Amino acid sequence: MEKTSKIYVAGHRGMVGSAIWRALESKGYTNLLGQTSKDLDLRNQQAVLDFISKEKPDVIIDAAARVGGILANNDYPFQFIMENMQIQNNLIDAAHKLDVKKFIFLGSSCIYPKFAPQPLKEEYLLTDSLEPTNEWYAIAKITGVKACQAIRKQFGKDFVSLMPTNLYGTHDNFDLKTSHVLPAMIRKFHEAKENGNTPVTLWGSGTPMREFLFVDDMAEGVVFALENTLPEYLYNVGTGIDITIKELAETIQEKVGHTGEIIWDSSKPDGTPRKLMDVSKMNNVGWKHKVDLEEGIELTYNWFLANQNDFKEVKL
């Protein structure tokens, strides 16, 4: 890949997209292309086709998606399945029709069955039923993986899918109604500390196990996929290390400096009991994560402190 190759990062303003943009710039890529949702509605097929036809990127990295935690997925199932399918299908179809050289599709570990053996291997895809609380998003992402695989199989094009584990980091979403578990905990513990170390109530039992990847490590994985021709269509991207939600909460509580009580509301859903990625395929081709969880939480909390006045509530 030439440093002057035109690379379109769809979703470049989001947490993942902005991390990819920073990683590409740091590696010396000088011809990056981004469009805000105001300038380009990725749900509009003709608008996407016209944009790709006009700009003629060499590479498309699809980091655009409607995302959220258990609550958002549960409350807005139609938006989560329909808008994600529209976004990715429009980009994949335009890339194929207009002969874009390389396409990198980003998904999520939720594509794997709820009770799949642990750690999750790529070949477990479509072997059993999904976690009901986020199946809408998962089904959309599975169709993206399969569309890229189909193009790869039928036309021999370099379309590859990367499935990250739970991502967190700078530029995360800290809206308590729509955020994922780690940034939501950071905000809850911080606000409780500011209010005199009041108790913090968290969903579920605290027993599920989760794996977390710092977003800058994910971005490095994307750059690795950009600079190398990967031999398979699907790769897990993660740390291969997981902890319980209770351990996560206690780690964040310590980093934030909250000294109050943690209350677990077991009437709320836990979600999938465990979700650990087998990252051996990605490790074997040459990529491995660098940032451990404690360091990543510190970096994320420091960014939260520096930017908390800028946060706006996300409306769905």
Q: What is the pLDDT of residues 77-101, one digit of tens each?
A: 999 999 999 999 999 999 999 999 9
Is 264 within any annotated ligand binding site?
no
Is 288 within any annotated ligand binding site?
no
Kindly name the residue from 8, 29, 112, 137 that is annotated as catalytic.
137
CATH 3.40.640.10 fits 7-169+212-241+275-292, yes or no: no
Specify whether 137 is catalytic.
yes
- d(C-alpha 110, C-alpha 166), whole Å: 9
Is 44 within any annotated ligand binding site?
no
Is 13 within any annotated ligand binding site?
yes
Query: Phi/psi of residue 160, each to 5°?
Result: -130, 145
Looking at the DSSP assignment, which residues form a beta bridge with residue 274?
A: 209
At 112, is the secondary structure helix, strand, or coil? coil
Please state, for a pLDDT cut of 70, what percent of the chain lies above it: 97
pTM score, two decimals? 0.91
- List, for residues 171-210, the tens digit of each pLDDT value: 998 988 777 899 999 999 999 999 999 999 999 999 999 9
Q: Is the pLDDT of residue 316 over 80?
A: no
- d(C-alpha 63, C-alpha 14), whole Å: 8
Burial class (CB within 10 angstroms; exposed 0-12, middle 13-18, buried 19+) of 144: buried
